Amino acid sequence: MRIIRLFGIIFLCVLLFTSCDLQTVFIEVNLISPSNNQIIDKSEIKISWDISSNESGYKFNIYFGGATPPPLYETGFMGNGYTIQNLEPDTDYYWCVEAESDYGRKKKSAVYHFKTTSEQKKPAQLVEPEESANDVSLLPYFKWIGFPGESQEATYVLLVESGRRMTPIATLIGVTSYQSEKPFLSNTNYSWAIETRFNQENVLSNVQSFKTTAVPEPPVLLSPENSAVLTENMATFQWSVLVNENEGILYDLYLGKQRDSMLPVVESYDQQSYSLNSLAYGIDYFWMVKAYYENGGTCVSEIGKFSTIEGNLDIDSIYPDDGEHYIPLNTSLEWDYSGNLDDAVFNIYFSKQTSPSFFRSVVGSEFLDLTNLDPESAYYWKVEALVQDEVVAISPVNSFNTRKADNYPPEKPTNPYPRDYGNQIPTDLTLSWSCSDIDGDPLSFDVFFGTSSYNLEKITDKTEVEFYYLENLAYDQQYYWKVNSSDGKKETQGEVWSFKTLDDPDIQIPIVHQLSPQKNAKDVETNCVLSWTGENANSYDVYFGESSSPPYYETTTDQTLSLSLEKGKTYYWQIVAKNGEEETYSMIWDFTTEFGIEQADEVAREMLSYARNSSFIETTTFSADTNWGSMYFKEEYLQDTYIDDFYFVLRATIVNHQDVFFPLEARVSGPELGSHFLLGRFASISELDNAFTDEAVTSISLEQMLTDVERIKFFFSNQWYNLELFRAP
């Protein structure tokens, strides 16, 4: 019996080891570097591979040579990378790797090929613009001959200089021409060169110079004359320009009721006169002309102003915008009437037909609530105004499309930093990404990170910002990461991205990180201080402006920069850390400064419909006594409601002890509203009195609010909320 048991144990062990070995057979050997058919410009190369198994104990047989299939080159190698030296120039090589388990089972990869280049590395030959060329377009076209010939593998850096230093404006792989997308300065001398990059070796071409063309004078506005008053609702706009002979030129004509919100009424127009017969009566108009010259220059005229006399009234559609998509199933129609609101009756035409039928009438109001619309449907609508049963104004027919009934999943995260397959990434960095949601739901993100694309570890759970700071990463390490987005109802899986950290810790690569204000920061003070943390840097180039690709601003050796900014604007900025010829670019961050009074009024009007039609809004009670005592604000708590950094607006009415009505609007904002928010509606005096409770959290003099000041802010004890009341237009 003991012998039988011994043989049984031996049989089970053999079966177990055999099973383990069988598991190791089912692996794949994946060749990583160099990639198949790559061109190599050096005499040695490190080949690398990995296997689809986390088990250890594998040895590798390397096959390498100038023929296919390649001969056996090395056996029993332990590791995932092998350096081959003394490569011949201008030669084809083939290679593959065979994994061998401890039990002699083998699995071979596919065969890859690469070719070495000739030994000589020549600079690029500059072709266009030619040396000392004049009258070059303000959108120059650059062309050069690469090495060798029209190489499809070399990396070219286009360098341009004007008065200070050669600056890279484009990096191109296998492309030997570049059309500038941004205009150069007119009548200015420039120099340019091409730097050809061969892995760690850079070859600079000769430097050539050129001069851009001069830009003609901007358009001169002729008619209507400035401050003119037109007697009709039509105008003929005329202007003139001083141009060179045979100069090609196109125009955009802009028109608007406000100086800073003009819109184009005609674009790419080749005449200097344009008639418009749909102006409104009793309105101040602003207009200007933008000229686009054939040489790439752009000029803008001064802004002209004229008025139309009092006449017919008009209606402008406000919400939804014509052709807008994803409108909620409970929404509203909104319009703007130029006449006396108290005298008007509005007939609303609304249906799924392109010529909508009569739907409903409203009196003294510029909005109509809609409920239970059909999902994913197109609707058409218009409004006509009647005074004493006579039609005095008609809006155009607008359309919109409703959203689907179910929640939309969030978009897949995009725009990763570091960029996918980025190389030479600092070991201290901030991961960042971009993501949006059709429903406008607040988003949260799960970030996964690791050294293998097959085994990523979650490093943060449900973060609400689009960045994550990492430090003390390993040098010369390939990392993989992804971001999953969630709107609290549905989750979207992100793509797997990768990057590789710095090669050599002894090379003093400049590093910049920990930028402040943070990405997407809101309500930043206009007296702003930019700050960052830098390492191994002698100086920093600051790029700053209102463009998403900010221009160069200044160079500093400090790690702060004080700025005086305008209110209610979004600014973009980037820091370039420099150490000799080494430089590192931070990601581009943006922030928005605090709103001014006029901008707050505009934001409140724009958000009116969202607050009124959101399904999670409920009434919150205000209370005031009839002796001008105090007004109280009670908050209601709504569960499972998530609201991001956003403005909510509610139109309300305040009454005093004489029952005189004052239209007001309330805006509620906060950096992190979480699952609570405040909105309210003023009622009659009796309702206000009855609504008074001991749960009030703050109060203010109603008399002071209506007589002494336009705006009052409420700061609640939990420091989440900021309520601002002001007279509505």
pLDDT digits (tens, 9 = 90+) for 378-402: 999 999 888 767 777 888 899 999 8
Strand partners, 240: 220
CA–CA separation, 100 vs 77, rounded Å? 10
C-alpha 666 chain-centroid distance = 30
| Paired tokens of 720 | 């989440």
Ramachandran angles phi, psi of 170, nearest 5°: -160, 140
The residues near 504 (Cβ < 8 Å, ≥ 6 apart) are: 475, 476
pLDDT at 575: 93
CA distance 573 to 587: 9
pLDDT digits over 9-41, tens only?
555 554 544 444 444 446 888 998 888 888 777
Closest CA to 699 of 631, 653, 634, 652: 631
Size (the chain), residues: 729
Question: Taking the model in full, what pTM does it have?
Answer: 0.28
Tokens of 622: 């205000």
Cβ-in-10-Å burial (0-12, 13-18, 19+) of 288 comes to: buried
Q: Which residues does the chain have with pLDDT short of 70?
A: 1-26, 118-121, 147-153, 163-164, 199-201, 215-216, 231-233, 242-247, 278, 280-282, 295-296, 309-312, 388, 505-507, 595-729
CA 166, CA 145: separation in Å to the nearest integer? 20
For the chain, helix (H) and strand (E) counts, in that order, are 5, 61
User: Residue 535: its pLDDT value, please?
Assistant: 86
Determine the Cα–Cα distance for residues 712 and 664; give it in Å rounded to an integer: 11
